[in-house]
Chains A and B, each alone.
Chain A
């Protein structure tokens, strides 16, 4: 999106509604001066774009659009990705904070479904109880879906979480007020409140690696290639090939979050 015309337009709008609003206010103090006008104006803050780099030099976010492919049939549940993610991103070591985690599904002959993820999979998975009743069983890696229509960004009251031009959902740790609304709004359980920073934490697709041309840490260490990273649109990347030759699905598609974590060989019981 071109920055400057947008800004100019918004500036014009601002002075306009501003003066009208104040005049009305004084003239008709008791009257019902519209609540909507100041609200609409107030929301679109525009500070003239001066030094808006937004990323490292030489990296143009508008040229990219990232997503992740996950081949469920390749995941062996070793949880190297979970460990690597915690190491790379300073995710708290304790068991209940994960940017990514591995779930084990055990679907029984009577359609009962048992799911577990002990310590996100890091500690391994205990033997399956009553193995004789198992119909099928498999591992599913989970992470932030980096939705194109992210409910977490929608609900953030202050603009502390946002989607970048290259399609990654990030948290501004210096601005987050810790209201936890985004945690409630995420259908995937991908967010948590960092126990020391008291702000929302989540997967960043290792954004600090992307801008240097590296893949996310979880992708780097996946020994079976169950995680495939790359461009969602147009450009030829492993993800593009993955999406060409697999039937892909997204999680909770009915919520219209437009996720960019694409699953191949996904079982219908996974949610």
Chain B
């Protein structure tokens, strides 16, 4: 055997043995127990302290309020949404008290009008809606209800009202096209307002022979857009014609 081979072999053997030694010394104890990772890491993660106690904890002491809330429109809004993280309070109920927010800016986080919010979600315009009055003065946060039946349609249909206001139909009242029974205000989902069912309804203004302002766009009702009712294509709260 040439002289080179045993010499090189010795060097490689030292390196390989060194690696083995390092490996047995440095690989953490629990590595590989559960998979290709340190099982002990899970223990560290699990030991992380909690900030939010969970509504179950709150219910144990604050049962009446919890029951009131559970039967209300805020039944899905758990305690710590408004009162903030309460684990510290649970651990030390007398010394540490959770926040009791009374400002308007907490409520508007959810209830300020935003077109991106789902329709039907109760929203107000914070600037015009009883400015500077605390929300809790009229609405009990644990069982919120409108104090009076809404007068304006826009109280609930903010998105429509907002769009309508900047459209060519801005001057039309809701009542021009919809008939809303009084019961709709009390029980909005059970009793619905009407929608125009006939093409001729829109034709009152838009038909070729309609007696209306000349600036209003006209169509031939017999040939245009059969067989649909107008609002199946056009959005009357924001008609596309400019």
Given contacts A45-B36, A125-B116, A131-B162, contact A214 B42 (CB under 8 A): no
Given contacts A137-B115, A162-B37, contact A47 B52 (CB under 8 A): no
Q: Which residues of B contact A (CB under 8 A)?
A: 5, 8-9, 12-13, 16, 27-39, 41-52, 54-55, 74, 76-78, 80-81, 85, 109-110, 114-118, 121, 162-163, 166, 238
Quick check: A174 and B116 within 8 Å, CB to CB?
A: no
Docked pose: A163 CA to B36 CA in angstroms: 10
A-B contact pairs, 19 of them (CB 8 A): A3-B33, A25-B9, A26-B9, A45-B36, A75-B118, A76-B114, A78-B109, A87-B51, A88-B85, A124-B109, A137-B116, A138-B116, A162-B41, A174-B38, A208-B49, A214-B54, A220-B52, A224-B110, A224-B121
List of B residues within 8 angstroms of A88 by Cβ? 50-52, 85
Among B46, B49, B78, B114, point to the contact of A125 (Cβ < 8 A): B114
List of B residues within 8 angstroms of A231 by Cβ? none
Docked pose: A226 CA to B41 CA in angstroms: 31
- Whole-angstrom distance between the Cβ of A82 and the nearest chain B Cβ: 12
Q: Chain A: interface secondary structure? A: loop
Given A175-B38, A224-B76, 11 more A-B residue pairs with CB atoms under 8 Å apart are A52-B33, A56-B46, A76-B114, A131-B115, A132-B166, A138-B116, A162-B35, A162-B41, A170-B41, A175-B41, A209-B52
Quick check: A26 and B13 within 8 Å, CB to CB?
A: yes
Among A43, A84, A162, point to the contact of B85 (Cβ < 8 A): A84
List of A residues within 8 angstroms of B85 by Cβ? 84, 87-88
Docked pose: A26 CA to B10 CA in angstroms: 9
Docked pose: A159 CA to B38 CA in angstroms: 8
Among B16, B30, B116, point to the contact of A139 (Cβ < 8 A): B116
List of B residues within 8 angstroms of A56 by Cβ? 43, 46
Docked pose: A206 CA to B36 CA in angstroms: 22
Docked pose: A134 CA to B31 CA in angstroms: 54
The interface bits of chain A over 9-52 (1 if a CB of B lies within 8 angstroms of the residue's CB, else 0) are 00000000000001001100110000000000001111101111
Quick check: B16 and A25 within 8 Å, CB to CB?
A: yes
Given contacts A52-B39, A137-B116, contact A220 B80 (CB under 8 A): yes
Among A138, A211, A223, point to the contact of B110 (Cβ < 8 A): A223
Docked pose: A44 CA to B36 CA in angstroms: 7
Among B13, B39, B78, point to the contact of A220 (Cβ < 8 A): B78
Quick check: A104 and B116 within 8 Å, CB to CB?
A: yes
Quick check: B77 and A54 within 8 Å, CB to CB?
A: no
Return the chain B residue nearest A38 by Cβ: B16
Given contacts A55-B43, A217-B52, A221-B81, contact A47 B29 (CB under 8 A): yes
Given contacts A47-B27, A54-B42, contact A220 B55 (CB under 8 A): yes
- The residue in B8, B33, B77 that gathers the most chain A C-beta atoms within 10 A of its C-beta is B33
Given contacts A52-B30, A106-B116, A207-B46, contact A162 B13 (CB under 8 A): no
Among B43, B77, B118, point to the contact of A73 (Cβ < 8 A): B118
Given contacts A132-B166, A214-B54, A220-B55, contact A173 B121 (CB under 8 A): no
The interface bits of chain A over 48-87 (1 if a CB of B lies within 8 angstroms of the residue's CB, else 0) are 0111111110000000000000000111111110001001
Docked pose: A25 CA to B9 CA in angstroms: 8
- The verdict on A113 contacting chain B, using a C-beta distance below 8 Å, is no
- The verdict on A256 contacting chain B, using a C-beta distance below 8 Å, is no
Quick check: A25 and B36 within 8 Å, CB to CB?
A: no
Return the chain A residue nearest B37 by Cβ: A162
Quick check: B33 and A49 within 8 Å, CB to CB?
A: yes
- The verdict on A117 contacting chain B, using a C-beta distance below 8 Å, is no
Quick check: B41 and A172 within 8 Å, CB to CB?
A: yes
List of B residues within 8 angstroms of A124 by Cβ? 109
Among A43, A77, A125, A214, point to the contact of B50 (Cβ < 8 A): A214
Docked pose: A235 CA to B76 CA in angstroms: 23
Among B16, B44, B54, B81, point to the contact of A215 (Cβ < 8 A): B54
Docked pose: A253 CA to B58 CA in angstroms: 40
List of B residues within 8 angstroms of A132 by Cβ? 163, 166, 238
List of A residues within 8 angstroms of B117 by Cβ? 76-77, 139
Quick check: A52 and B34 within 8 Å, CB to CB?
A: yes
List of B residues within 8 angstroms of A162 by Cβ? 35-37, 41
Docked pose: A233 CA to B55 CA in angstroms: 25
Quick check: A209 and B116 within 8 Å, CB to CB?
A: no
Quick check: A80 and B35 within 8 Å, CB to CB?
A: no
Return the chain A residue nearest B35 by Cβ: A162
List of B residues within 8 angstroms of A84 by Cβ? 52, 80, 85
Quick check: A80 and B54 within 8 Å, CB to CB?
A: no
